[in-house]
Amino acid sequence: MSFPDPIMRRLGLTAAAAIMAVAVTGAAAAQSMVVRSTGPSASKYPTGAKLKSTDKVTLVSGDKVVLMQAGKTRTLSGPGTFGATGTVQLSQSMGTTVTRMIAKSPTMRSRGGATRGDAPVVTDIRAPNLWLLDYREGGAFCVVDPATLMLWRPDMHGDTALTIEGGGKSETVALVDGANFRKWPTDAMPVQYGVDYRLSGASLAKPVTVRFQKMDTVPDTVEGSVDMLVAKDCSGQLDRLVDAMSESETAGG
């Protein structure tokens, strides 16, 4: 049975498109992305830069560059010249941490039976999920769902109050002893994009300013999350994610 020429042409184009898709996917998989860069050479390797597998990264003393490939990170420290790709191993527990970090619905637990007295104050931890607003971090913040936005604090001991000012309004919310979380006061102060919110009180050394960024979709992957956070300039959330990925990395040359 013979097919009309137009059908054959369509089949040929479909096959060509499939081959091209495989080639593009392979090229993308071989790429590394700069997710953190500090030191004298930071301007040469800015956050968000894509590197091909054949590229070399040349660093001087004081440089540190964190690369991401296939959802894993690799830290390069100067001086030295390094290939853009390398062997990286990720522990099972680290994979769980990263999965929890990018989950669209963070798990929120408060402590029952608050213990007062000599309990240590913990302030050096970061929010366990990207979409929790750690009110200590200023700058752009990417919001999954304004209606369910949650405030987060590192220490759950004691009652405290956070004052939020923005869009011509002011609201003070309470964070109670035994809880890390408090819902953003959406009824009194709905989340608006392009508005600077000034947050003060609640043991902050000084006020911080937050500006919300709209997300059309929530990425399902680490790579998608990094791309989106870089594009939206949500640097605080990007730092959290990079820290989670880098915490237990083992890198090879």
pLDDT classification of 245: cutoffs 50, 70, 90: confident
* For the ranges 88-92, 122-126, 231-235, the one whose mean pLDDT is highest: 231-235
Reported as type and span, the H/E element at residue 7 is helix 5-30
- State the burial class of residue 108 (Cβ atoms within 10 Å of its Cβ: 0-12, 13-18, 19+): middle
Instruction: List the beta strands (DSSP E) in 88-241.
Output: 88-89, 132-134, 139-143, 150-152, 160-166, 169-175, 181-183, 196-201, 208-214
Reported as type and span, the H/E element at residue 57 is strand 56-59
What pLDDT sits at residue 203?
Answer: 86
What pLDDT sits at residue 125?
Answer: 81
Which residue in the block uniquely carries the two structure tokens 């608006």?
A: 192
Domain ranges for the chain, please list them: 103-108+122-246
Q: What are phi and psi of 42, to 5 degrees?
A: -55, -35
pLDDT digit string (tens) for 24-76? 334 344 578 898 899 999 999 988 888 988 899 999 999 999 888 877 788 89
Q: What is the spatial distance between Cα 253 and Cα 250, in angstroms, rounded to a whole number?
A: 10
Q: How does the average pLDDT of the chain come out, rounded?
A: 80
pLDDT digit string (tens) for 134-190? 999 999 999 989 999 999 999 888 999 999 999 999 999 999 999 999 999 999 999
